[in-house]
Structure 1
Amino acid sequence: MTETTTGRISENIASFHLIRYGTASAMRYMAFDRPVLRATAGLAFWRLMGTGRGRSMSLGADLRRWALFAVWRREADLESFLASSALSARWRREAEESWHVRLAPTASRGRWGGVDPLPGPHPRPAGDTGGPVAVLTRASIRPSRLVAFYRVVPDVDRLLARQDGCLASVGVGEWPLARQATFSLWRDAGTMRRFAYAQGEHTRVIEHVRAERWYSEELFARFRPYASEGAWNGDDPLKGTLA
């Protein structure tokens, strides 16, 4: 099963959608939604994912909340999906809470399922503009490194919770345990870089990841959020931050 289509992404438009239903029976939509997404015009890459209970990756799953990451050929394709897709219509009809953000990629490296979902070049902002930053990190964890990976997750979660520049974060994943990702929002690029590179606990984890080859595949992508709507845990974490 592929979740990509061939051809160049002309505008480098991405989106992230976080949907919370009333009951865990929403699990069935993971199967029902895939044919809809495969047939969606202009959708160049997509992943449906479950979510964790905490702010980062964890062993606990929230079976009522699901996520979609998508890359679109044109802004108009995303507009059409949100306005007329059966999937987005169900979000409006059945979801207890939903949040949607539009993303302009500014940096990306790595692959997802053997594919580069965000081929460049990406326009780089002129200096640190001070606006919010979104980050997507994704990895396929080697089976032999699963225990080591989940042993350090609580420490990283506690560190993330102490970052006053982190507006919101959620752990997401395609498969239980082994294919994990984190989507996070930061007040600005400076606060994001301080967490990534200046925190001792986090840099030690990165050193272990590299030295012991925990991942068989990984992706890091950074975005400029430029529009958001809806609620994530009762509020829009980007409210008042976008020009």
Structure 2
Amino acid sequence: MSDQAISQVSTVTLLRFQGSNAFWIFAQMPKAPKKFEKVSGLKFFKLMGSGGKNGFSKMLNVNIYALHCVWDSEEHANDFFQRSTMFSEFKNRTTELFTIFLKATRAHGLWSGSNPYQTQNLTPTGPIAVITRARIKLKFLPKFWSKVPSLGKKVDEVNGSIYSIGIGEYPWFMQATFSIWESYEAMHNYAYGNPLHLEVIKKTRELGWYAEELFANFIPYKTEGTWGKLHDQLNGKL
């Protein structure tokens, strides 16, 4: 399939809930998948919670959630976000909501038994987004969580980091990260120049921490909504 024939796009939507709506979204976690399965043009989806602080904590953040979707086309994505009664209910209950549209450029590994991304041969000239996801073997949970909080804290201190958050389908053993970087070089320098991150990579390979893992790069190309300063930080670079 040529790059011109690839119409697939991905989206990451950050959602903030307050008060009684935080209880509402928590209750939707087991209910929503059946509704998402009926959405036209939606190839893959995950509704995920987040951890405390910047997401890299064993404590749950009951206010922030993330919806990750892979669409057959941008038209399908727009139809869902603009006209779906299901998404309208989500939107109306949030105090803040932000959707980032993405094109996958690299993806390897599996997520729930498959790799949902069709990659395009695009050269990043600006910001790059990264999704990492792992299902951790139960026997390695203590070792994993002894490293992750410190690692997450360091991401915010790295030059070239725009945004990062730890998210997951289930607390503690199904973990994902979503991060945005000013450039591919900034992301690469962190991934392979940070001693703590390199140690985690080494341990992962040596000990086999993960039962399943995936790593994907994306080019963000448009956004909708607001999320603190992220809207201005990112849109000025797209």
SS in structure 2 at match of 1:238:
helix
SS in structure 1 at match of 2:57:
coil
In 2: Cα distance, 1:111 partner to 1:50 partner: 20
2:229 is the alignment partner of 1:229: no
Could you tell me whether the CA contact under 8 Å between 1:140 and 1:178 is conserved in 2?
yes
Q: Percent identity?
A: 32
Output the amino acid matched with 1:98.
L
Moved more, 80-89 or 171-180: 80-89
Could you tell me whether the CA contact under 8 Å between 2:104 and 2:118 is conserved in 1?
no
Name the structure with the higher helix share: 2
Output the amino acid matched with 1:49.
M
In 2: Cα distance, 1:216 partner to 1:67 partner: 23
**Which residue of 170, 173, 183 maps to 1:178?**
173
For 2:17, the equivalent position in structure 1 comes to 21
For 1:74, the equivalent position in structure 2 comes to 73
SS in structure 2 at match of 1:31:
coil
Shift of 1:235: 4.3
Shift of 1:54: 2.7
In 2: Cα distance, 1:223 partner to 1:151 partner: 29
Shift of 1:56: 4.4
Shift of 1:239: 2.7
Could you tell me whether the CA contact under 8 Å between 1:104 and 1:225 is conserved in 2?
yes
Pair 1:235–1:191, CA change in 2 (3 A)? closer
For 1:55, the equivalent position in structure 2 comes to 54
For 1:148, the equivalent position in structure 2 comes to 143
For 2:94, the equivalent position in structure 1 comes to 95
Could you tell me whether the CA contact under 8 Å between 1:57 and 1:180 is conserved in 2?
no
Shift of 1:20: 0.6
SS in structure 1 at match of 2:113:
coil
Output the amino acid matched with 1:176.
P
For 1:157, the equivalent position in structure 2 comes to 152
**Which residue of 114, 118, 138 maps to 2:133?**
138
Pair 1:192–1:235, CA change in 2 (3 A)? closer
In 1: Cα distance, 2:108 partner to 2:147 partner: 24
Output the amino acid matched with 1:96.
T
For 1:214, the equivalent position in structure 2 comes to 209
**Unaligned ranges ≥5, structure 1:** 1-8
Moved more, 168-177 or 33-42: 33-42
Cα RMSD after superposing both structures: 1.6
Shift of 1:176: 1.1
SS in structure 1 at match of 2:152:
helix
In 2: Cα distance, 1:95 partner to 1:109 partner: 33
For 1:6, the equivalent position in structure 2 comes to none
SS in structure 2 at match of 1:18:
strand
SS in structure 2 at match of 1:87:
helix
Aligned length: 230
In 2: Cα distance, 1:116 partner to 1:233 partner: 31
Task: Provide, for residues 203-240 of structure 1, a one-character-per-residue CA deviation record: whole Å limited to 9, x for no partner.
Answer: 11110111010001100000000001222245414131
In 2: Cα distance, 1:102 partner to 1:216 partner: 29
Task: Provide, for residues 149-186 of structure 1, a one-character-per-residue CA deviation record: whole Å limited to 9, x for no partner.
Answer: 00001221232121131111111101111100000000
